[in-house]
Amino acid sequence: MDLQKKAAQLRTKTFEVITQAGGGHYGGSLSAVEIMTVLYYDVMNLSGGIAAKDRDRFILCKGHSGPPLYVILADKGFIAEERLKELDQNGGSLPKHVDRLKVQGIDYSSGSLGQGLSVACGMAASLKEKYPDTRVYALLGDGECDEGQVWEAAMLARQYQLDNLIGIVDYNQCQIDGRTSQVINLEPFADKWRAFGWNVLECDGHDTNALQKTITQAKLHHGQPTIIIAHTKKGRGVSFMEDNYIWHSGKITQEQFEIGLRDLEGRG
């Protein structure tokens, strides 16, 4: 499978689904598409299906980026495609922030940022004893890394040598209130993770080949958890949204929707 082409298709569908819902979290959804694509179509062991106890787990710590995950679950047949119309609708079954009690294939109900890595640590610790070949992948937002609980979890993961835990930061350098450098500067970001005892890797988060190679490298590392800093752009692919924090969440006009579709189809 051409993962770069697949990601382009999924990004367009994500843009359409959010717009159909009346707006939503465009920015962080569009920035994370390649990461989720590589995980779900290449890296993660899902061969036994969603119910398999030894399958890999995916923790979407930045739960507002649920739309591309829903799109992927529908594309893979884990949920019905018709349900995508229910995104963020009253009485609908696809909430804006992912909910494992409402959607088959969701491993963690997220909304409050900062808690997901702690849950991932607990899962990784438990699975390491029962199913040593099973891995937990946790996708964090960079603004989320302002939260102290992220760093508490980081210390715990190193203490227990959770090398079956691979964290990925969608490092688009924007959050709801501005650029991360202006809100709470994370730099030197890689050095912080190293100081907390993690194996640190970096790559282009929109290059599926680079993501594949980097995650493969992470899987081969033993004795430490790994964090991958994936350099991305918020609102990736849509000209008026890309690298612009005001599109963390919002609504668009029909004219903007048509511009966005042309942008995305041009990239695809």
Would you state the structure tokens that stand for residue 161, as one six-digit string?
Answer: 């040598």
**Domain containing residue 197: CATH number:** 3.40.50.970
% of the chain surpassing 70 pLDDT:
99
The pLDDT of residue 5 is above 60: yes
Question: What local confidence, expressed as pLDDT, does residue 50 receive?
Answer: 85
Query: Is 29 part of a structural domain of the chain?
Result: yes
Query: Is 84 part of a structural domain of the chain?
Result: no
Query: Is 91 part of a structural domain of the chain?
Result: no
- The answer to whether 143 and 180 have CB atoms below 8 angstroms apart is yes
CA distance 243 to 245: 6
Question: In the chain, how many domains are there?
Answer: 1
Query: Is 102 part of a structural domain of the chain?
Result: no
The pLDDT of residue 169 is above 90: yes
Query: Is 140 part of a structural domain of the chain?
Result: yes
CA distance 58 to 61: 9
* Average pLDDT in the chain: 96
First to last CA, the chain: 15
Question: What local confidence, expressed as pLDDT, does residue 268 receive?
Answer: 55
Q: What are the tens digits of pLDDT across the range 27-72?
A: 999 999 999 999 999 999 999 888 899 999 999 999 999 999 999 9
Query: Is 94 part of a structural domain of the chain?
Result: no
Residue ranges making up the domain that contains 180:
3-65+107-267
Which whole number is the average pLDDT over 115-134? 97
The pLDDT of residue 234 is above 70: yes
